[in-house]
Amino acid sequence: MRISLAQITSGQLPAENLDLIATHTRAAAHAGSDLVVFPEATMRCFGGPIRKFAQPLDGEWANAVRTIASDAGITVVAGMFTPAADDRVTNTLLVTGPGIDASYDKIHLFDAFGFAESDTVAPGSNPLVVDIAGVRVGFATCYDIRFPALFQKLGDLGAEVVVVPASWGSGDGKVEQWTLLARARALDSTTFVAACDQAEPAAAEGNAPLGVGHSIVCSPTGEILGQLDATPGMLTIDIHTELVDAVRANLPVLKNRVAFV
């Protein structure tokens, strides 16, 4: 599988962010990628009211992404917001492409570092693994990367690659944590981890998580296969999933782990 991570800076207008998706999806298709991953909150950046921008999965914005993916002939993963039952939204990943139409709702909400995502976002509950270009791909979003059990569950479900769109909060040591966590989760689950963050914005106010860049792809042994800096860019990596079986044969951590009650 060839995968591209599109490290963009989302703006406040969903229509303009569709232009970013179209441009980078075409570039990924031209590079021969099977999958292009955009960050969390691609639809509309954090740092302002998101409820009024939420749309259902069959709404205008998601359908526009489907058209972009169909025209390019590759699978697109993009973060959006969908309405929830209690006047909040869900932080949703749309996964769409040839023969694929799925979604994942972020399970672990970012109630940390002075930010309370749960004030406006309702949590999901169901892990997701889908087949893309013959590869089993699992999904997680941003703060999910701090929770090993989710990645181990995705490994149990057959994931060979875990995609992690994010809008990572800035601060002292946060880039180092991001890199460390991506490598650790790859080791925990013996999967490839492809984590795509929002690029670091030129200016930021308040404590909303707007991204620090440094999108990264790690192997099942925790090796960094590629990483961007803080600025917008595209990272394209070939992933050889036969390594997953080889690593799991030598290091069967999913089989060896003990569940504590």
Rounded distance, CA 57 to CA 83, Å?
9
Sheet with 192-197, strands from edge to edge, namely 129-132, 135-139, 161-166, 192-197, 216-218, 224-227
Catalytic annotation, residues:
40, 106, 142
For residue 187 the two structure tokens come to 């080791």
- Sign of the Cα torsion 167, 172, 176, 180 reads negative
Count Cβ atoms below 10 Å from residue 40 Cβ, excluding itself.
30
Report which residue type is found at 125.
Answer: S
3 state DSSP class of 234: strand
Query: Which residues have a Cβ under 8 Å from the Cβ of 224 and sit 6 or more positions away?
Result: 179, 183, 216, 217, 218
Rounded distance, CA 48 to CA 61, Å?
19
Provide DSSP, 23-85: HHHHHHHHTT-SEEE--TT-SS-SSS--GGG---TTSHHHHHHHHHHHHHTSEEEEEEEEE-T
Query: Which residues have a Cβ under 8 Å from the Cβ of 240 and sit 6 or more positions away?
Result: none
